[in-house]
């Protein structure tokens, strides 16, 4: 899977950077987040529990940051394991910059390459693009509100507004599963 996106957050560069490095803020922005720990300067570990009907899984994600250039870029290596639900792993390159068109706003750009395994792969990688993008959007909505009180805007050709899925239970779990990877993307910002 390859995906990229672009968002505008109504907050300054440093503020966004700090927010993205604050495990407490992040944990509040992720639905179902059980733990969010910054285990070292460049490493986060998180568990997210998702449960729909009889299906339930806890996704454990380890994120390692490399090529960190504060407050503008880093690369993240993410590994997500979900037991019976499968796993995901990938790298994301993330850049922050001041929005040239609007002072006090920050542009976030990410490009992620990932592959998935187990049930995640089986259920259809073509779904995952949409799911991951939706997760990214949901996270940014929460994150933007958290740090600026305003919902950020998806911008650019690669980040169209994602339609809302009226998901069935079975379907929804995959969205949530993939949130773990999306979180990786987001954290790197």
Partner 1 sequence: MNEAKSATGIGASVKRKEDVRFITGSGCYTDDINQPGQSHAAFLRSPYARARIESIDASAALEIEGVIAVLTGADMVADGLGDIPCGWLVKQKDGSDMVSAPHPPMAATQTNYVGEPYGVVIADTLAAARLGMEAVLTDFTELDAIVDLATVRDSEQIHEGVEGNLAFDWELGEREATEAALASAAHVTRLDLTNNRLIPNAMEPRAALGIFDKVSGEHTLYTTSQNPHLARLVLSAFVQIAPEHKLRIVAPDVGGGFGSKIFIYAEETAVIWAARKVGRPVKWTADRSESFLADAHGRDHITHAELGTDEEGRFVALKVQTTANLGAYLSTFGSAVPTYLYGTLMAGQYSTPNIYVEVQGVYTNTAPVDAYRGAGRPEATYVVERIVETAARELGRDPVELRRLNMIKPDQFPYETPVALVYDTGNYEASLAKALVHADYAGFAERRAAAAAEGKRRGIGLACYIEACGLAPSNLAIQLGAQVGLYESGEIRVNPTGSVTVFTGSHSHGQGHETTFAQVVSDKLGIPFEDVEVVHGDTGRVEFGLGTYGSRSLAVGGSALIRAAEKLITKGRRIAAHMLEAEVDAVEFIDGDFLVKDSNQSLSFAEIAFAAYVPANYPEDLEPGFSEKAFYDPENFTYPAGTHIAEVEVDVDTGVVELKQFVAVDDFGNVINPMIVTGQVHGGVAQGAGQALLEQAIYDEFGQLVTGSYMDYCMPRADDVPDFTVDTTVTPCTHNPLGVKGCGEAGAIGSPAAIMNAVTDAVGDNSISMPATSEKVWRALR
- Least distance between partner 1 and beta carbon 173 (Å): 11
Q: Which is nearer to partner 1, 50 or 189 (CB)?
A: 50
DSSP for 60-105 reads EEEEEEEEEETTTEEEEEEEEE-GGG-EEEEEEEEEEEE-TTSTT-
Sheet holding 55-69, edge to edge: 33-40, 43-52, 55-69, 73-81, 87-98, 106-117, 2-9, 153-154
Query: Cα-Cα-Cα-Cα dihedral of 21, 30, 188, 164, to 10°?
Result: -150
Which residues contribute to the site for partner 1 (CB under 8 A)? 54-57, 83-87, 115-119, 121-127
Q: Which is nearer to partner 1, 68 or 127 (CB)?
A: 127
- Least distance between partner 1 and beta carbon 3 (Å): 17
- Least distance between partner 1 and beta carbon 81 (Å): 8
Q: Are the C-beta atoms of residues 97 and 13 closer than 8 Å to each other?
A: yes
- Least distance between partner 1 and beta carbon 50 (Å): 10
Q: Which is nearer to partner 1, 59 or 74 (CB)?
A: 59
- Least distance between partner 1 and beta carbon 23 (Å): 23
Q: How far is CA 79 from CA 135, 139, 153, 168, 178, in A?
A: 17, 19, 28, 27, 12
Q: Which is nearer to partner 1, 9 or 57 (CB)?
A: 57
Q: Which is nearer to partner 1, 32 or 117 (CB)?
A: 117
Q: Which two tokens stand for residue 161?
A: 């507004």
């Amino acid at each position: 899977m390859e995906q990229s996106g672009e968002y505008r957050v109504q907050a300054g560069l440093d503020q966004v950077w700090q927010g993205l490095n604050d495990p407490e803020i992040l944990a509040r922005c992720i639905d179902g987040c059980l733990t969010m720990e910054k285990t070292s300067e460049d490493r986060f570990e998180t568990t997210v529990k998702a449960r729909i009907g009889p299906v339930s899984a806890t996704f454990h994600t380890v994120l390692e940051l490399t090529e960190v250039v504060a407050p503008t870029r880093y690369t993240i290596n993410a590994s997500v394991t979900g037991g019976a639900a499968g796993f995901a792993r990938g790298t994301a390159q993330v850049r922050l910059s001041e929005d040239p068109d609007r002072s006090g706003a920050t542009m976030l750009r990410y490009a992620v390459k990932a592959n998935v395994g187990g049930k995640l792969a089986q259920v259809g990688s073509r779904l995952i693009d949409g799911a991951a993008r939706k997760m990214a959007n949901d996270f940014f909505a929460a994150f933007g509100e958290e740090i600026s009180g305003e919902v950020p805007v998806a911008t650019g050709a690669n980040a169209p507004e994602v339609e809302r899925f009226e998901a069935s239970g079975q379907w929804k779990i995959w969205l949530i599963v993939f949130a773990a990877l999306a979180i990786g993307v987001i954290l790197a910002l």
